[in-house]
Amino acid sequence: MAIFLADNSPSSDPPADEAQDARRRRDPEATRQAILDAAQELFVCHGPAGTSLSAIAKKADVTKSLIHHHFGSKEELWLAVEEYRFRAYFDIQRKMLLESDSTADLLRDSITAYFRFLQSEPDSVRFLMWHMLEDEEQPCPNLEKELFELGIEKIREAQDKGEIRSDLEPFFIIKSLLALPMGWFQTRCMTQALIDSDISAERLDEMYLEDMVKHFLEGVRPRPEDDSDPMAG
């Protein structure tokens, strides 16, 4: 019930020397970034509807008017934060995808890398969820599309080589590849309560990762008797 609780975190990030200096001597770029960072943190925590401009201003140690000066309105600020996050998100994903150039372990590497990414950046999970709930449009549709097409191409190659069964649409394979780690971390905080034993969260992550990869890979492995038509449907 996060939104019903007052934000009891200290009013602002540790006012590091750089930040203080940046405010003493004018530095609009640093100010912009400070606002963006503060907004990001609060938006991730409480969502756009649950975050007030006053709270952002307080955390960024600027006046509310300054937010309007640099970003226009609350909506534009939210969009700016989204763009900022999504660009980083897609960049990382593209990098991960391009790294694994061996088609043999393509899916194992991809799903593992995605799992590790979400594990190390739980904010991304929450951000994606806020986005799915609050926005109908993709902030960077071109980036996502490009990424999917790249992934589809790679999977097609692996299918042609016979390393992945050919009766599954590459697009759907990617969708499942993304859904499994995402689903795990979306419900991670509630998962612990479902387990009787006192396994640590980290250990649980490792156990799930292992089974998930095993299950996922086995499902896409070409079976001996499977020489039927590729491209079904």
Q: Total number of residues binding a copy of itself (CB under 8 A)?
A: 65
Residue 154 to residue 185: CA distance in whole angstroms? 26
Q: Are 143 and 93 in contact (CB under 8 A)?
A: no
Question: Are 216 and 180 contacting, i.e. CB atoms less than 8 angstroms apart?
Answer: yes
CB of 38 to DNA, least distance (A): 13
Task: Compare residues 25 and 223 and give the one whose CB is closer to DNA.
Answer: 25
Q: How far apart are CA 209 and CA 119, in angstroms?
A: 11
What 8-state DSSP symbol labels residue 223? P
Interacting positions 51-110 with a copy of itself (CB under 8 A): 74-75, 78-79
Using rule CB under 7 A, residue 27 touches DNA: yes
- Encoded tokens for 145: 């599309």
Q: Does 184 bind a copy of itself (CB under 8 A)?
A: yes
In this chain, which of 31, 110, 119, 159 binds DNA, going by CB under 7 A?
31
Are the beta carbons of 179 and 123 closer than 8 angstroms? no
Is residue 119 a contact point for DNA (CB under 7 A)? no
Binding a copy of itself (rule: CB under 8 A), the pick from 63, 95, 98, 171 is 171
Which residues of the shown chain bind DNA in the complex (CB under 7 A)?
23, 25-28, 31, 51-55, 62-66, 68-70, 73-75
